[in-house]
Structure 1
Amino acid sequence: MDAFKALARCGGAARRPVLARMGVDDAALRRAGRAGVLQPARGLYALPAASPDLVAALRNRELLTCLSAAPMYNLWCLPPNGLRHVYHRRRESVRGNAVHHAGLLLPPASLRPVAALADVLIHALRCLSFAESLVMVECAVGRGDITVDFLRQHLPGKRNGKARAVLDWVDRGSDSLLETLARTYFRQAGISVQAQVYLERVGHVDLLLDGWLVVELDGRHHAEWKQVQKDHRRNNESVVQGYTALRYYYPDVVHHPEAMVAQVLQVLARRR
């Protein structure tokens, strides 16, 4: 197998034994080295764009887990804080800017130094903030990769109370982490929320509050002019039909949720 293709299948980096099992011989590795494949350590090969966390995990013989493993499973996640979240059978061997997570429930991934999805999510629920763990779990649950019941069964006892409390807010229907967080914050404030509601001549709106307040959540693609025009026309049509529409952006939802919720409550109070 071509070394570049094999490394891509492994997430961007791999050790020599893994590549050999995939059919990459020494001659292919030498050709790949001349073509740009890096060798960060003896027996370790990486594409130039490989994740530094992945390379570090392979070098230190660790497994990525928690927030550091989210990209490997294409999970929604909030920006990392610079720490590497890993599992190692010897905790004392974990060095550098890393957080050690103990215990594995299932065997790790076969081609990548990554813990199984269930372990990644359990570690995240025990380690991360409410918002960080919620979006990761809801992404996996929404895709059908895992169930809330499975996670709850493997988080017993008082020490896992905080983790189980996050699971109480996991739902389906959101198209993005912004929808998940905004929906949850509104529900925590006692507001009735429906996600992805279809309105005639408007289409699906992100959230509908109390049956009449439309909340749209804008990601980066909404900065494109054609999308801006489309969004404005949708807003206008919803107002014509008697709805009220508010728009919020990533910083509003992620960094200033209290202000967003307070503003929504003010608008809802007028009709109530």
Structure 2
Amino acid sequence: MRKVTDVLTDLGGVAGTSSLRQAGVSRRLIEAGLSDASIHRVARGVYALPDAEPLAVHAGRHYAVPGCVTAAFAAGLWVVKRPDQPHLAASHGRPITGCVVHRSHLPLTHLDIVCQSLRCLPRLEGLTIAESAVKQGLVQLSDLRGRFPAAREKALLVLVARIRPQSGSIIETMARYLLEEAGLTVELQVSVPGMGHLDLLVDGLLGIETDGYAHHSSRQAYREDRRRWNITVVRGLPTLRVTFEMLLNEPMEFVKMVHLALGTYRTAH
């Protein structure tokens, strides 16, 4: 029989009696954990490890769990920005001080988290979370489409149709979304002889390469970056470099820059 502390660790540090019992923890082991202080009771039928995350404990006290964008961030999905208030999910749906509450059946699945994000967040922020979940194999596109059958959610179904699992990073997804919203045609992971794959190709003319946080993490990566850049010049493929910060803080400046570049190179051709 598994230790209650091991099970709680697997469940994120906080869990209710039913979840613990389903994982093979007997009531006797729960009582033993309370007796030796290896676990604490935070609410009736809810238990936590002494070092559990404060947010998880706060949620547990209110019979809730992290949900929506907060759960997406914890799961390693592509989150554009952290919310001002944590998002929780609870079957009761009652307000919880300092939090945004989503009414939902528990336990949450990755599909639940993605659907909450699509319904709750701005379109781009919902798309990045959904696209990363599909890319990582945590959610199937067919299942996601099936969660938005209502006519009033047609816009969300249209957004789901824009998911591209081949996207290589959150920056690519953000750039593609902004350019498509501007009416431009964007291709992903375009093969360029001698170079490899270009992140994005706009209107068949302008390349976009994205610089992530870990860009140039080594001398070898720096040399490879310069080699790829030189190939685009030799092949007559003008390429812009964009960062996460640019897309987050100056999205319209990014789109304007792309339009200007396209105008310049269309004239040259």
Q: Same fold (TM over 0.5)?
A: yes
1:253 counterpart letter in structure 2: L
2:84 counterpart letter in structure 1: G
1:44 aligns with 2:47: yes
1:77 aligns with 2:79: yes
Identity in percent: 27
Range moving further from structure 2, 12-21 or 137-146:
12-21
Q: C-alpha deviations, 1:89-135, integer Å up to 9, x for none? A: 3333x32112222344xxx34xxxxx122222222222111111101
Question: How many residues were matched structurally?
Answer: 259
Of the three residues 206, 213, 234, the one matched with 2:228 is: 234
Q: Which residue of 1 aligns with 2:207?
A: 214
Superposed, 1:20-99 pairs within 5 Å as 21-23=23-25, 25=29, 29=33, 39=40, 41=42, 44-46=47-49, 48=51, 50-92=52-94, 94-99=95-100
Distance between the aligned counterparts of 2:11 and 2:88, measured in 1? 17
Q: How far off is 1:264 after superposition?
A: 0.9
1:137 aligns with 2:130: yes
Q: How far off is 1:41 after superposition?
A: 2.9
Distance between the aligned counterparts of 2:128 and 2:186, measured in 1? 17
1:101 aligns with 2:102: yes
Q: C-alpha deviations, 1:25-45, integer Å up to 9, x for none? A: 369847995xxx674836622
Q: How far off is 1:12 after superposition?
A: 3.4
1:264 counterpart letter in structure 2: V
Of the three residues 142, 147, 150, the one matched with 1:154 is: 147
Q: 1:5 to 1:38 in 2, by over 3 A?
A: closer
Q: Is the Cα–Cα contact under 8 Å of residues 238 and 244 in structure 1 kept in the other structure?
A: yes
Q: 1:197 to 1:100 in 2, by over 3 A?
A: same
Of the three residues 163, 174, 180, the one matched with 1:170 is: 163
Q: Is the Cα–Cα contact under 8 Å of residues 63 and 86 in structure 1 kept in the other structure?
A: yes
Q: C-alpha deviations, 1:198-225, integer Å up to 9, x for none? A: 3233222211223342211111111535
Range moving further from structure 2, 3-12 or 183-192:
3-12
Range moving further from structure 2, 37-46 or 79-88:
37-46
Distance between the aligned counterparts of 2:160 and 2:30, measured in 1? 48
Q: How far off is 1:17 after superposition?
A: 6.3
1:202 aligns with 2:195: yes
Indicate the RMSD between aligned Cα atoms, in angstroms. Answer: 3.0
Secondary structure in 1 matching 2:83:
coil
Q: Which residue of 1 aligns with 2:9?
A: 8
Distance between the aligned counterparts of 2:36 and 2:242, measured in 1? 47
Q: C-alpha deviations, 1:66-91, integer Å up to 9, x for none? A: 11221354322122213222232333
Range moving further from structure 2, 148-157 or 178-187:
148-157
Q: Is the Cα–Cα contact under 8 Å of residues 7 and 20 in structure 2 kept in the other structure?
A: yes
1:213 counterpart letter in structure 2: L
1:14 counterpart letter in structure 2: A
Secondary structure in 1 matching 2:215:
helix
Distance between the aligned counterparts of 2:137 and 2:20, measured in 1? 31
Higher relative contact order (CA 8 A, sep 6+): 1
Q: 1:157 to 1:14 in 2, by over 3 A?
A: closer
Give the TM-score, by structure 2 length: 0.81
1:62 counterpart letter in structure 2: A
Distance between the aligned counterparts of 2:50 and 2:192, measured in 1? 47
Q: How far off is 1:166 after superposition?
A: 2.3
1:7 counterpart letter in structure 2: L
Q: Which runs of 5+ in 2 are unaligned?
A: none
Range moving further from structure 2, 124-133 or 70-79:
70-79
Q: Which residue of 2 aligns with 1:270?
A: 264
Q: Is the Cα–Cα contact under 8 Å of residues 12 and 51 in structure 1 kept in the other structure?
A: yes
